[in-house]
Structure 1
Amino acid sequence: MALERHLEQAIDVLRPDHSPVIAAFLPIGGEPDLSALLARLHAQGLAIALPDTPECPAPLRFRRWWPGCAMRAGRFGTLVPQTMEIVPELLIVPLLGFDADLHRLGQGGGFYDRTLAALPGARSVGVGIEALLLDSVPVGPHDIGLDAVATETRLRMKGGAA
């Protein structure tokens, strides 16, 4: 799938030289299903984490995930691994919209902005479809832009590299 290929390209460019912890998500609503890609990354020896959504206004917490690990129901219809917490260095972030400057629209809770602010060295790549590209996204003082956006048609990187 082209989206997964562009996402893998972003991971290769953005990840540190060592084997980082990569945070991702399982789909809710119309979000893309990345479970096959996550299983492949896990099989390559990378640590995968899924979000555990706390009460507002806290940042997301992340728990280690692997295919078949025990899961529980989380907030907002998510599934959360019943495993230890780990800290990601690269975050794969869902989006409802994005602009050419790689600002994103999310669900409106600010969870990913708070999380990225709490992890200043972490890199981030948004995942969505090209039809979600907007002329501009309103940016507030606490909004944090992405390092990349992967869609089914291309990979956009901060600074225009791809």
Structure 2
Amino acid sequence: MDDIKALARRAAFARRKEAFSRGQGQAAEILADVLAGYAQLALSGYMPMRTEIDPLPAMARHIGPVGVPVITAPATPLRFRQWTPEAPMMTGDFGALIPSEGAWIEPQVMIAPLLAFDARGFRLGYGGGFYDRTVQALRARHKVTVIGFAFAAQEVDEVPIDEHDQRLDAIVTEEGVRWFV
């Protein structure tokens, strides 16, 4: 399965890079509209890297607390440090920016970055398993809504999955929203 996922990741990086070069369209506005239905809930987003679609405009409009992922150790669930557009940032693991200070929050709604997604609601991530571990742990404690955020061009026929992969509740692209539940 690791080899299959590695090949899928290479192809997905290329598709995402091509989509990124065409621009983000109305994706952040659509995401903000979806998140408005969860206005007071704790939200986790992410700081976009390389060719990831940018959720920051939607995160900045969220009324409730917003956190971004922090890797605290290999092969463990993520933690989320509170973020605002004015938060002092530093470079974390894998080069992602993280708040240098602030409260830890536990999200009830998550925006998940990805390389690819399919019509079943599965996502292909970067291979560290951080999001799958995190979603599994959160779902064991309370309801959490996981929203993938991607370019429409990142959809594939079928994401290779194993027993650890967690399904998204929805996907938001520049073309609209698709719910999987």
TM-score (norm 2): 0.80
Q: CA deviation at 1:5?
A: 2.8
Please say if residues 105 and 137 of structure 1, whose CA atoms lie closer than 8 Å, have aligned partners that are also in contact: yes
Deviation track 1:48-93 (CA, whole Å, cap 9, x = no partner) reads 1001012221100000011211222100111111212111100000
Tell me if 1:38 matches 2:56.
no
Q: CA deviation at 1:122?
A: 1.0
Match among 27, 50, 75 for residue 3 of structure 1: 27
8 Å contact 1:10–1:148 — kept in the other structure? no
Cα pair 1:124 1:148 within 8 Å, conserved: yes
How many residue pairs match? The answer is: 153
Match of 1:28 in 2: 49
Question: Is 1:66 aligned to 2:84, yes or no?
Answer: yes
Structure 2 residue 161 is matched with structure 1 residue 139: yes
Residue identity matched to 1:11: L
- Aligned positions of 1:66-85 closer than 5 A: 66-81=84-99, 82-85=101-104
* CA deviation vs aligned residue, 1:7-58 (integer Å, no higher than 9, x gap): 1343245x3xx711100001111012222222222xxx31110010122211
Gap runs ≥5 in structure 1:
none
Residue number in structure 1 paired with 2:9: none
* TM-score for both structures, normalised by structure 1: 0.89
More helix by share: 2
Give 1:89's aligned amino acid.
Q
Distance 2:61 2:176 in 1: 21
> Structure 2: where are the runs of 5+ without partners?
1-24
Structure 1 distance, partners of 2:111, 2:153, is 19
In structure 1, how many angstroms separate the alpha carbons of the residues matched to 2:29 and 2:56? 14
Any runs of at least 4 consecutive aligned residues in structure 1 with deviations exceeding 2 A, and if so which?
A: 8-13
